[in-house]
Structure 1
Amino acid sequence: MNPRVYRPLVDLSTMEERHIILRYRLDRATIHELCAQLEPALMSPIRQPTGIPPLVQVLSVLHFLASGSFQTTVAMSSGMSQPMFSKILSRVLSALTKHMRRYIVFPEEVDLATVKGDFYALGHIPNIIGAIDGTHVALVPPKDDEQVYRNRKSYHSMNVQVVCLADQYISHVNAKFPGSVHDAYVMRNSSIPYVME
């Protein structure tokens, strides 16, 4: 029996930089750096190898996170089945969380002056310590609490809040709340109000 051969549908080397950023929300160099860090975890024979290259695994998960689309849609555009993508999503997110504390940090008070200066250099607005936004990450809800996950656009999701610095480093992520929860509630129940006091 011949082993299955995976033929990627996306070739990062042929894509323009602006298309890469639009699709994955990261530039080419950052994606390659991320892949290098995650590759040992994604290639581990202990974790049931998929035969799908680490770069493709990372790209498919980044596309999923950036688009807020459904697993089936991203899986099809990545050339794999939804069950396979689900395994890859779990594997890549697990590998990412091991590096999370290194990249997701709110600046210490001594750094706040630098952060404010960086934001001022970008837009000439004083006293900015972070750019905040929310996104809805689509999911299949648990059967018991299905309505809690339905957002105002009538699909099921998690309401995720993210804060980043002027250099695009993420300083805060709050992914605790289902899609029906209002953005203001997510903000009030995060650590951000305490940081701003």
Structure 2
Amino acid sequence: MVYINAYVRQHFSPLNVLSDRAVQSKYQLTRVEIQRLVTLVSPHIQRATRCNFALSPEVQLLATRRFYAVGSFLEVVGDGTGLSKASVHRGFHAMAGIPRVIGVVDGTLIPIHNPSLVDPCWIGRKHYAAINTQVAVDHDGLITDIVARWPGGTHDSFVWANSAVGQKAGRGEFGRSIFLGDSGYPLRSYLVTPITNPATPQEERFNEAHTHTRTHIERVFGRWKSRYRCIHRSAGGLRLSPVKCCRVIVVTAMLHNIAVCVGADEPPPVDEDGETSEDEAPNPAPRESRAALHQAGVQTREELVNLF
């Protein structure tokens, strides 16, 4: 009789030798949260193999987290945060006084590095290949919606129109709640953009409040990319196929949310210059089919301006 011995490398774990501070620094989560993640994902990544020295689920998870954190090798995130719309409204209102805000939406370019990409649609106006990733955040810095599927040259307004959150908003599923977006988005009753040429003190104050509130998402981008350097341009771009790049982006967003929920230490800031999407492109004049939607947005914005 022949016996086949299969060993799983479970005898060593960084969690057994690193201090709590080192675990937090290397993997961007506490020891307890990492162990909870291991329990959650183990049934899905346990290697069904008889090969010697197969990696344990814990080692696989830690290696993956380390990659997401440093980027040295190699559609929608659930919004079940347990917060009511009223709570979110109050959180955003406290920032700069704009009522009924349920989220801030913006696009960010996630660089990718793949020499085989020859289609110019992947190249944005910053002249590098990227995924144009649309993100919506709440007042606590949680990513409540993410769309990571479109090439870097895709305009924000197109991504919004073809996203689940944009279509839900268009159907009125968020009631009178509104999102704030920059001038790259279409003005709607549920998506309010700044006034291009403010002509009154009220309009100027509204724009200031709009800008102040919108910087919240820029800070989230900074923390997210600092926590997971693989999606920051300084790492040289994700060296994976575009489909796998999109998956990595979504997973890092989920892990960012876990870090926010457990109160993980704030990572050092990173420079976001050059990684925002085409957010300042002017909106095209609305066609007749869009005129009514645009006018409804104008009316909503005027109501908000009157509060300032």
TM-score class normalised by the smaller sequence: 0.5 to 0.7
User: What residue identity is the alignment partner of 1:129?
Assistant: I
TM-score by length of 2: 0.38
Where do 1:1-197 residues align within 5 Å?
11=18, 13-15=20-22, 17=24, 19=25, 24=28, 29-45=32-48, 51-62=54-65, 64=67, 69=71, 73=72, 75=73, 82=74, 104-105=78-79, 111-120=84-93, 123=95, 125=97, 126-141=99-114, 143=116, 145-194=118-167, 195=169, 196=178, 197=190
Residue type at the aligned position of 2:44? A
**1:149 Cα shift?**
1.8
Output the CA distance in 1 between the equivalents of 2:65 and 2:161: 28
> Does the CA-based 8 Å contact 1:106-1:172 persist in structure 2?
no
What's 1:90 paired with?
A: none
> Over aligned residue pairs, what C-alpha RMSD do you find?
4.5
Output one character per residue of 1:140-162: Cα deviation in whole Å (capped at 9) or x when no partner: 54847542223344432222222
Check whether the contact 1:149–1:178 (CA below 8 A) recurs between aligned residues: yes
Going from structure 1 to structure 2, the CA distance change for 1:60 and 1:189 (only over 3 Å counts) comes to: farther
What is the Cα deviation at residue 119 of structure 1?
3.7
Q: Structure 1 residues 12, 33: CA separation in 2 closer, same or farther (over 3 Å shift)?
A: farther
**1:141, 1:149 within 8 Å by CA — same for their partners in 2?**
no
Aligned equivalents of 1:150 and 1:9: distance in 2?
39
Deviation at 1:171, TM superposition (A): 2.0
2:7/2:54 contact within 8 Å kept: no
Distance 2:66 2:106 in 1: 18
**Normalising to structure 1: TM-score of the pair?**
0.54
SS in 1 for 2:121: helix
Distance 1:117 1:49 in 2: 56
**Which one has a larger percent helix, Structure 1 or Structure 2?**
1
User: 5+ residue gaps in structure 2?
Assistant: 170-177, 179-189, 191-308
Q: CA deviation at 1:133?
A: 4.2
Q: Give unmatched runs, 5+ long, in structure 1.
A: 76-81, 83-99
Whether the 8 Å contact between 2:8 and 2:56 is mirrored in structure 1 is no
Contact 2:79 2:144 in 1 (8 A): yes
How far apart are residue 116 of structure 1 and its match?
Answer: 1.5
Name whichever of 156-165 and 29-38 sits farther off. Answer: 29-38
For 1:81-103, what per-residue CA distance to the aligned partner results, in whole angstroms no more than 9, with x for missing partners? x3xxxxxxxxxxxxxxxxx88x6
Q: What are the Cα deviations for residues 57-116 of structure 1, in whole angstroms up to 9, with x where unaligned?
A: 33444455566x5xxx2x2xxxxxx3xxxxxxxxxxxxxxxxx88x613789x9322221
Name the CA distance, whole Å, in 1 between partners of 2:96 and 2:52: 49
CA contact under 8 A between 1:162 and 1:170: conserved in structure 2?
yes
